Amino acid sequence: MILADLLQDQNPWWRDGAIRRVRGYPVRRDLQREILSRVQRLDDRRAIVLLGPRQVGKTVLLLQLADDLLTAGLPPQNLTYFDFSDDRITVEVMAHEVVEAQPVGVVPEYPRVFLLDEIRSAPKWDLWLKRAVDSRVGRIVATDSAARLLRDGSQESGQGRWDELYIEGLSFREFIRLHASPEEDEEARLRLAPNLHERYLALGGFPEYVLSEDFPEVRRRLRSDIAERAILRDLSGLGVDLARIKDLFVYLLQDSGAEFNAEARARDLGADPRSVREWVRLLNDSLLVFPLDRFARGATAGLRSKSKIFAADPGLVTAFASFPIQDPTVRARVFEAAVFRHLREVARDREARLGYYRQREDLEIDFVLEDPRDELVAIEVTSNPRLRADKIERLRRAAKELGADRRILIHGGVLDEQAEGVETIAIQRFLFDPAACLQGGEP
Amino acid sequence: MSDPIPLGKKEGPRLEFKGADALKDPEKIAREVVAMLNAEGGKVWIGLREEDGRAVAVEPIADPESEKGRLLNYLVDTIEPAISNSMVNIEVQDQGQGAVLGVLVGPAVGKPYAFLRKTGRHFVVRVGDRIRPMTREEIFHAADPATSDRLRTSVSKTIEERKEVLAKGEELFWMHFEPAVEVSLDIQDARFEEFLQNPQVTGNRASGWNFSQFQYRPRIRQDRLTTSSEELLKAEIRRDGGLVFSAPLEAFYWKGREENQIWPPLLIEYIVSALRLARAIYQGHVHPGDAVIVDLLLTRLRGWILRPGAPGVWFAANRPRTFTDDDFVLPQPLVFRFEEIESEPDRCGYRLVERFYEGFGIRREDIPNLFDAQSGRLVFPE
């Protein structure tokens, strides 16, 4: 298919300005609002590169952006969407060709906006993007799923020219939003469906599967889409051993939240420890797993310690678990992955430091959050619905040793319980509004 | 030990023969079974040709195990009140001339029984080797007088309460349980709180749609344990054994393209969860043979839609049915024996689901196939 035809097909608003491509997807993700507002800021020439793993909704977000821009009054001919991974593309398409294919009727008073999906498939895209930003061709939003490739080629060029934004699986609040009726807010829906957090823990935050009742099928598809496709497609071309990366990935998910021992894994995989560390970095760059460093007052002590590696999303833990989700060990890992996913967001927003704490074998805290005001919050997670006195006591002792200002225990019950010196928060309340919980307020 | 195949024997008050063809029209078999349940019990043989009331030859049934399963499902679905294994049992017999089915109908409690067909409930009784409709008086007096008095009182109480709910005019799902027996529940029993807050204790699923995951601690109010006023879904356990589970109708909406679309798995699981809770709450307080009246009401349902079939392939293409009355009300509350709720709560729930679908004009075969045919359990893969 020739480029002009593809562009006409992908931009139906060029022939009829009233057309919207994703009217059937009215729910917006939190990040979508931020990107929309940035695109509309005319004094900002920087491009936006949106990075996230497969299946988290990057394409839908981009198309919603198109719909919203048109609804906000952007002349239809000023908007160009292009998906570089369209399987009808038979000859490589360069990014500049998409920009140069200007439709008739562009209104010069408005900027042109380019929404470029899977930009990695465009050769030398980073050089083009640098020139495009410098020459102010318009407002540009690009997406891709392979963070590593973007960073390798682009870190330097990107300085001052584009902002990298990261999109993960749905937060719990976004998950609820997808269940709500059009006029309903998340809180109202949660009151009508008080155990939605259990579905979130079982299914995870991959939008396509949120409404499914067939949990085993969702897990099967996640295994296939993430392990088979994401790893094989996104990491191919890097000259790495994909089969062993896949094995490592499955291991990391099954052991989500455990300290990572590169030497031991290297022995299991028959590989060099340096390669194994590099593979973990690749998986992290693809936003499929996230490391959590050991918290230490002095930065160097933290660097010497082993990191814990977590699945990026609770759904990945259940999808790859060797046992059913009801198994206490699996459930504990799912809880921790869900809490970590939400803590990461809070830490990013507050520019806070996040780690785990371990002094001795018996003195450990799952998460430690140090915000710029130097408040130190110790956060322990238990999937148990009943609070055990020994667990609370251990948290108190470890927090004292750490010098934490606050102690929080996130638990698997439905009610907030009392425990002296420890704030106990039901998992649902935490996931619903982690920022408010960490501020000590009622969500 | 199974009876020998009664070739040469004559039909009588406790013996009936049907040819293999009867399996093509199972309503005829249900009619015979109900007639025996309302009399002294007996046995219906299927696969025996009869001449002048005498069994003369075996008409072998191909694939008898499948036929047995299908027939049992049919009987369970169409006989009311629900039957249990101890009352109706089907066996396959093959004594060298081909397989036949024997439907053993035990002595029944909870009379009168009826079989359901489109035109309503049909009460019949076996007299000699014939069947005739039961008279109004026979239906009324079939139960023992003390039981029927209690039953009438409990049904009246349920209907009065139903009227109050209807009068409020809210958009509401409402399920009510009333044992037709004197009950005194200890509403301070800590287990009851746990039932309302931990779904797995009552056999409900943690990530499912149920009345057992309330976020606030239930409160004691006079003679009842009720969920907090903060909750939109409600549950109430009364000292006298009455149970109420209710929810705003919006709770049944589930992200369909249309507004006010009821999401079938959600509706089904909520109903079944209430039955599972009732089982747990009544255990040790209600005897197996006691009757429990169960009512289901969905008020201000006009305009809500329900699609036939199960979500998945073609679901969205099925023509949705719109509810055209103001409220969904059962003509009469259903009556179960506690042993039915205790042994097969999901099957009891299914009967309510079936009535609800009938309210939308949807046939039994278009109800989502979420119930395991053998166990009758609602099965959601987890």
Quick one: pLDDT at residue A212? 85
Q: Which long-range contacts (CB under 8 A, 24 or more apart) does A353-360 make?
A: A353/A295, A354/A292, A355/A292, A355/A293, A355/A294, A355/A295, A355/A296, A355/A302, A356/A292, A356/A293, A356/A294, A356/A295, A356/A308, A357/A294, A357/A295, A357/A398, A357/A402, A358/A294, A358/A305, A359/A398, A359/A401, A359/A402
Q: Which of A134, A167, A200 is the last residue of a domain?
A: A167
Q: What's the rounded Cα separation, in Å, for the pair B153 and A124?
A: 83
Chain A residue numbers with beta carbons less than 8 Å from the beta carbon of B380 are 213, 215
The closest CB to that of A194, out of B213, B312, B380, belongs to B213
Residue B139 lies in a domain: no
The Cβ-side half-sphere exposure at A161, using a 13 Å CA radius, reads: 19
State the average pLDDT over residues B164-182.
95
Residue A436 lies in a domain: yes
Q: What's the rounded Cα separation, in Å, for the pair A270 and A368?
A: 34
Q: Are residues B67 and B159 in the same domain?
A: no
pLDDT at B331 over 80: yes
Find the CATH number of the domain harbouring A102: 3.40.50.300
What is the tally of structural domains in chain A?
Answer: 2
- Domain hosting A58: range is 3-167
Q: Are residues B173 and B45 in the same domain?
A: no
Tell me, yes or no, if B204 comes closer than 8 A to chain A by beta carbon: no
Residue A200 lies in a domain: no
- The candidate with the shortest Cα–Cα distance to A402, out of A382, A380, A381, A423, is A380
The closest CB to that of A179, out of B247, B255, B311, belongs to B255
Q: Are residues B120 and B188 in the same domain?
A: no
Find the CATH number of the domain harbouring B21: 3.30.950.30
Q: Which of A203, A213, A325 to mutate to test the interface with B (most CBs of B within 10 A)?
A: A213
Q: Are residues B304 and B273 in the same domain?
A: yes
Q: Are residues B217 and B78 in the same domain?
A: no
Question: Which residues are CB-contacts of B333 (< 8 A; sequence separation ≥ 6)?
Answer: B155, B158, B159, B162, B176, B178, B293, B294, B295
Quick one: pLDDT at residue A272? 93
Q: Which of B255, B266, B267, B272 to mutate to test the interface with A (most CBs of A within 10 A)?
A: B255
Q: Are residues B106 and B157 in the same domain?
A: no
Q: Are residues B218 and B342 in the same domain?
A: yes
Quick one: pLDDT at residue B229? 85
pTM check: above 0.95: no
Q: Which of A167, A186, A205 is the last residue of a domain?
A: A167
The predicted-structure confidence for B115-143, as pLDDT tens digits, reads as follows: 988 767 888 999 888 999 887 767 766 76
Q: How far apart are the first and last CA of chain A?
A: 52
CB within 8 Å of chain A, chain B residues 333-352: none
Cβ atoms of B332 and B155 within 8 Å: the answer is yes
Q: Are residues B89 and B20 in the same domain?
A: yes
Residue A71 lies in a domain: yes
Quick one: pLDDT at residue B292? 93
State the average pLDDT over residues B84-96.
85
Question: Which residues are CB-contacts of A260 (< 8 A; sequence separation ≥ 6)?
Answer: A252, A280, A291, A306, A307, A308, A309
Q: Are residues B265 and B294 in the same domain?
A: yes
Pairing of β B15-18 and β B42-46: parallel
Residue B267 lies in a domain: yes
- The candidate with the shortest Cα–Cα distance to B101, out of B8, B12, B10, B33, is B33
Residue A364: phi and psi, rounded to 5, are -140, 145
Q: Which of A167, A188, A210 is the last residue of a domain?
A: A167
Find the CATH number of the domain harbouring A418: 3.40.1350.10
Residue B249 lies in a domain: yes
**Which chain B residue is nearest to residue A428, measuring alpha carbons?**
B215
- The candidate with the shortest Cα–Cα distance to A169, out of A201, A217, A147, is A201
pLDDT at B304 over 90: yes
Q: Are residues B113 and B20 in the same domain?
A: yes
Chain A residue numbers with beta carbons less than 8 Å from the beta carbon of B253 are 181
pLDDT at B276 over 80: yes
Residue B244 lies in a domain: yes
Whether B382 and A202 lie within 8 Å, measured CB to CB: yes
Whether A415 and B197 lie within 8 Å, measured CB to CB: yes
Residue B373 lies in a domain: no
The closest CB to that of B381, out of A199, A216, A415, belongs to A216
Per-residue pLDDT of chain A (443 residues; tens, 9 = 90+): 789 999 999 999 999 999 999 888 888 999 999 999 999 988 888 999 999 888 899 999 999 999 999 999 999 999 999 999 999 998 889 999 999 998 999 999 999 999 999 998 898 888 899 999 999 999 999 998 766 565 555 556 667 888 889 899 999 999 999 988 777 889 988 988 888 999 999 999 999 898 888 889 999 999 988 877 778 777 777 778 888 999 999 999 999 999 999 999 999 999 999 999 999 998 998 889 999 999 987 655 555 678 999 999 999 999 999 888 888 999 999 999 999 999 999 999 899 999 999 987 778 999 999 987 778 999 999 998 888 888 899 999 999 999 999 999 999 987 766 778 899 999 999 999 999 999 864 44
How many Cβ contacts (< 8 angstroms) between chains A and B?
70
Residue A406 lies in a domain: yes
Residue A262 lies in a domain: no
Whether A192 and B198 lie within 8 Å, measured CB to CB: no
Tell me, yes or no, if B381 comes closer than 8 A to chain A by beta carbon: yes
Residue B325 lies in a domain: yes
The predicted-structure confidence for B229-254, as pLDDT tens digits, reads as follows: 888 999 999 999 999 999 999 998 86
What is the tally of structural domains in chain B?
Answer: 2
Whether B254 and A179 lie within 8 Å, measured CB to CB: yes
**Which chain B residue is nearest to residue A218, measuring alpha carbons?**
B382
Asked if residue A194 has a cis previous peptide bond (ω within 30° of 0), the answer is no
CA distances from B308 to A29, A391, A411, B266, B349 (A): 32, 50, 40, 14, 18
Q: Which of B95, B113, B134 is the last residue of a domain?
A: B134
Whether A195 and B210 lie within 8 Å, measured CB to CB: yes
Residue B35 lies in a domain: yes
How is residue B350 written in tokens? 């299914």
Quick one: pLDDT at residue A319? 94
Q: Are residues B162 and B27 in the same domain?
A: no
Return the exposure string of A113-149: e unless at least 16 CB atoms fall within 10 Å of the residue's CB, then b: bbbbbbbbbbeebbebbbebbeeebbbbbbbbbbbbb
Tell me, yes or no, if B379 comes closer than 8 A to chain A by beta carbon: no
Beta bridge partners of A117: A83
The Cβ-side half-sphere exposure at A216, using a 13 Å CA radius, reads: 7
- The candidate with the shortest Cα–Cα distance to B255, out of A217, A24, A195, A313, is A24
Tell me, yes or no, if B196 comes closer than 8 A to chain A by beta carbon: no
Residue B313 lies in a domain: yes
Residue A204 lies in a domain: no
ipTM: 0.79
- Domain hosting B164: range is 145-366
Residue A51 lies in a domain: yes
Whether A213 and B255 lie within 8 Å, measured CB to CB: no
Q: Which of B75, B100, B134 is the last residue of a domain?
A: B134
Quick one: pLDDT at residue B257? 56
Q: Are residues B95 and B157 in the same domain?
A: no
Residue A321 lies in a domain: no
The predicted-structure confidence for B6-34, as pLDDT tens digits, reads as follows: 999 999 988 999 999 999 999 999 999 99
